[in-house]
Structure 1
Amino acid sequence: MSVLKIAKTITMLLGFVVLNACKGTSSSEIEVNSIAYSYQIPPAGNSWVVSNHKHASVRIDQQGIQQWTDPSTKINTYVYLNDTGALQVGLNARVNQGSSTILVTINGQTKEVVIDNVEFKEVHVGSFNIDKPGYHPIEIQGVEKSGDAFAIIKTIGVGGLATTEGVTYVKDDFYWGQRGPSVHLTYQTPQDKDILWFYNEITVAPGQDVIGSYFMANGFGEGYFGIQVNSEKERRVLFSVWSPYQTQNPEEIPEDYKIIMLGKGQGVHTGEFGNEGSGGQSYKVFNWKAGITYKFLLKGEPSVNNSTDYTAYFFDPEEDQWNLIASFRRPYTSTYLTRPHSFLENFVTKTGYISRQGSYGNQWVYDTNGQWHELTKATFTADATARKGARLDYAAGVDSHQFYMKNCGFFSEHTPIDSEFERTPNGKSPSVDFSKLEVPTIK
């Protein structure tokens, strides 16, 4: 043990009273001022209802955990502990009236605490043994209450030997913290080639198709194309192109900077999008299935008056044909396809605690000389939520002929950002008859 760690440990031990956290201990029996917690974890950004979440009335926001009335509801608060040993836990909480009995479970150990104070105070729960570093959910569940709700919890305090080397949790930007880290693979392309087409395949294993997931296959310098899980009843194939005008509000885009729709496929909806840049968007409601491999084909080429046309096709193996999604023209842009990449993100905050994974395989590009090139090398990156260390549940790698990406779920092992991977080549270029692809026309 380092000198610094010994010093921190002594400081923590002096800051804690030795408490026998016996079952049913009342908050009035605890000398709260004698206890020091190294970290106060805000529920916003770190806590989720993990049972009965579709019908639970619990509200979790910057004011804490509120409107908690159902004893079947379990709430997990996720923290990453860099060390082992005793973890001291307290709840900065109060009741509206009466008293409540609450169970707190960490690493398979459960303690019971009674909250009977009507003003906020630190209610000590007890000491839990942490046997390995990593993510450890702090689970709370109501047992019984005499008031209208179990408690209002402002923060969860943690300290002790298990926090000696630090604790990772979401401290700010709670919306993005709840969505979880987005992850990307950028593919290495051949030098000095103009890329006209980009081909990719995605397979999502059963159980990994979590609501809120966007498995993006064909990303490029000006947009993205992939499949989403929008709800229990709806899934989409989504293709979007950003406007060159920088704004989060599509209504602010000047007319000459707007994305122009050149055509769309059968049953495809088109419109505008905002909040993550702005531009033209298209989607087709399509019940894609886990366990099936879907193919994506994207074309990008310079067009008239300093513009570029982008056209996306989706292959449904059950129909055995390529389907046009849409074709867009982007003004003030003259380029072939650049920066081919894929990503995996979650856009529904309520599912930010659930892990999901996608396999990305058989990447190829087709150049302006009519040659296919297989893309077997990729660099792994992640968004600001990951880079600033707010969440560590992100990973990527290679499984034989395929790359994979994984995010959310608070798994403990993560892949270093900027890691480079190389998959096994397939060696067989895609069988695409470009002459038979549907020509975009406005419908």
Structure 2
Amino acid sequence: MKSTFLLCSALSLALGAFCACSKNNLASGNREEGPGDKSVTAGTEQAGDISIALGANAWLTQSVAGSGETVTAAGPANWTNANAVFSAYFRTNTTGALQVSLRLKVPSGSSKIKVTVGGQSNTITATGSGYHTVAAGNFTLTDTGYIKVDLQGVSKTGGYFADVSDMIINGAATTGKVVFVPNNADVYWSRRGPSVHLGYTKPSADITYFYNEITVPQGQDPIGSYYMANGFGQGYFGIQVNSATERRVLFSIWSPFSTDDPNAIPDSMKIKLLKKGPGVVTGEFGNEGSGGQSYLVYNWQAGKTYKFLTQAYPDGQGNTIYTSWFYPPGATNWQLIASFKRPKTNTYLTGLHSFLESFNPEKGYIGRRANYGNQWVRDISGNWYELTTARFTGDATASNQARLDFAGGVSGSTFYLRNCGFFGQYVPISQSFTRPAGGQQPNINFNNLP
């Protein structure tokens, strides 16, 4: 997983093709051919049509065990089961009539496909082995925000229902601002969804400890979620949902050597493990920077509050030592996750932040939320400071407004972050929030930390 603070610039370049599209700015969103198909049947698109690539804007939202349906860069694929549902999303700020068409091909036979928008359904019959445009129905939108369009197979005479590359929309409901990912150039990031962050305002003193708490509300913990509590200039520490049966507490430190391949790091620049807690797995990571990683498989639960503590200090020999501890509800002692030595580094804790991300692109349509509370830091002289102000920011998917399903702010006594799920009211990024001060510093016996 990434620290989106450090990677934001790189991601902005990678995601530069994303935009929020309106009727007069659709050049990058229009597609004249089906992906990879040179013999496309001429379509029937009209002036004002908005073409939405399903490879970047659709998900398999109802799957069937043992069936092979999926979404590729070209759109829905292996569509054989009538119980499977693909859902495409776009956002509009106007209501009224909506015309929907599909650019598709049916390699053999004919297929009946049900198209549903806001509880209104229409069934179409499609044939033809070359990509062409088929009118899918006229609908009425009575509300603005994100609109979900469901595609479900009804019957077929061929091997599978269809290849659908694009959904084409028009009508009064599209005359305002329409938001979607306009091409398939960065399918992976758009399907993961926007990541959002809290950048805490810290005192000018040298900070050696960072304390934070996370509560994930019940029902807000889908697979592929990373709730990062303690982020800093060289690493991050938080909890994940890795699968239906596995959850982790994760602590990672980047190498000062810039590479996505951990095998390329010279020995003199490698992160060195100093110690780890019982049951903790350690190793290296890559793909989003490289470095040392540690994790504890731990079945943390939504609805409960977990505490996180991270320490950093220079060792006087050109290295910095980073250590993190975890405190679950009902515990009597802090649990050591790991302690790492980072070479060619001479710093205390800087760039303190938290973030929320979806790291599974197949789950990027499912929403998640977390509350981040009671942030404190301790300086090298033993003084505690409460952190009550945070800057709300987002990654390139959010800042380029390719997707607007993100939010952040203050909820009661805590900060909160929310992303994905295609909900209606988003909160603009690049603004600061202040939570109420609690005034009660953490009660930690540092001499007893493992």
Aligned to 2:50: 39
Q: Give the structure 1 partner of residue 331 of structure 2.
A: 319
Secondary structure of the structure 1 residue equivalent to 2:44: helix
CA distance 1:175–1:187, change in 2 (3 Å): same
2:54 counterpart SS class = coil
Q: Deviations over 1:415-435 (max 9, x none)?
A: 111121111111100000000
Pick aligned residue for 2:190 from 153, 160, 177: 177
Secondary structure at the aligned position of 1:186 is classed as strand
Note if contact 2:201-2:390 (Cα within 8 Å) is conserved in structure 1: yes
Measured in 2, the distance between the counterparts of 1:54 and 1:295 equals: 37
Distance 1:127 1:46 in 2: 20
Label 1:34 to 1:420 Cα distance change in 2 as closer, same or farther (>3 A): closer
The answer to whether residue 78 in structure 2 is matched with residue 79 in structure 1 is: no
Cα contact 1:196–1:301 (8 A) shared by 2: yes
Q: Which amino acid aligns with 1:189?
A: K
Secondary structure of the 2:268 match is helix
Residues 437 and 250 of structure 1, relative CA distance in 2, 3 Å threshold: same
Equivalent residue for 2:33? none
Deviation at 1:259, TM superposition (A): 0.7
Aligned to 1:15: none
Read off the aligned partner of 1:134 and give its amino acid letter.
G
- The percent identity for this pair of structures is 49
Compute the displacement of 1:380 (Å).
Answer: 0.4
Q: TM-score, normalized by length of structure 1?
A: 0.89
Aligned to 1:188: 201
Q: Residues 223-246 of structure 1, C-alpha deviation per residue, up to 9 Å, x if partnerless?
A: 000000000111100000011111
* Pair 1:351–1:56, CA change in 2 (3 A): farther
- The structural deviation recorded for 1:60 is 1.5
Kindly provide the amino acid, as one letter, of the partner of residue 173 in structure 2: A
Give me the whole-angstrom Cα distance separating, in 1, the residues matched to 2:366 and 2:65: 14
State the AA in 2 paired with 1:184. H
Deviation at 1:36, TM superposition (A): 4.6
Contact 2:64 2:81 in 1 (8 A): no
**Runs of 4 or more consecutive aligned structure 1 residues displaced over 3 Å after TM superposition:** 31-37, 53-56
Paired residue for 2:68? 57
Which structure has the larger Rg? 1
How far does the alpha carbon of each residue in 1:334-360 deviate from its partner, in whole angstroms, 9 at most, with x for none?
011001110011111111100010111
> What do you get for the CA RMSD once the two structures are aligned?
1.6
Unaligned ranges ≥5, structure 2: 1-22, 25-41
Provide, for residues 23-80 of structure 1, a one-character-per-residue CA deviation record: whole Å limited to 9, x for no partner.
xxxxxxxx96374562221111211111126644113212222211111111100111
Whether 1:409 and 2:441 are equivalent positions in the alignment is no
Q: Alignment partner for residue 125 of structure 1, among 136, 158, 167?
A: 136
- Gapped regions of structure 1 (runs ≥ 5): 1-7, 10-30, 439-443
Tell me, yes or no, if structure 1 residue 342 matches structure 2 residue 342: no
1: CA distance between counterparts of 2:124 and 2:406?
A: 34
* Alpha-carbon separation, structure 2, partners of 1:55 and 1:299: 47
The residue type paired with residue 199 of structure 2 is T
Describe the shift of the 1:55–1:46 C-alpha distance in structure 2 as closer, same or farther (beyond 3 A). Answer: farther
2:173 is aligned with 1:145: no
CA contact (8 A) 1:76 1:140 kept: yes
Q: Secondary structure at the match of 1:33?
A: coil
Q: 1:306 aligns with which of 306, 314, 318?
A: 318
Query: Which residue of the partner structure matches residue 404 of structure 2?
Result: 392
The one-letter code matched in structure 1 to 2:164 is I
Q: TM-score, normalised by structure 2?
A: 0.88
User: Is the counterpart of residue 95 in structure 1 residue 68 in structure 2?
Assistant: no
- Letter of the aligned partner of 1:436 in structure 2? N
Equivalenced residues, count = 409
SS at match of 1:256: helix
Deviation string, structure 1 residues 193-249 (Cα, Å, up to 9, x no partner):
110100000011111111110000000111000000000111100000011111111
2-side partners of 1:156 and 1:63: how far apart?
A: 12
Cα deviations across residues 264-321 of structure 1 (Å, max 9, x unaligned)? 1111111110111111100011111111111000000011321110000000223322
CA contact (8 A) 1:37 1:157 kept: no
The aligned residue for residue 333 of structure 1 is 345
| C-alpha separation in 2, matches of 1:422 and 1:276 | 31
Moved more, 53-62 or 346-355: 53-62
CA distance in 1, matches of 2:289, 2:77: 34
Return the alpha-carbon distance in structure 2 between the equivalents of residues 32 and 114 of structure 1: 16
Q: Give the one of 368, 387, 401 matched to 1:375.
A: 387
What is the Cα deviation at residue 398 of structure 1?
A: 0.8
Amino acid across the alignment from 2:401:
G
Structure 1 residue 234 corresponds to structure 2 residue 280: no
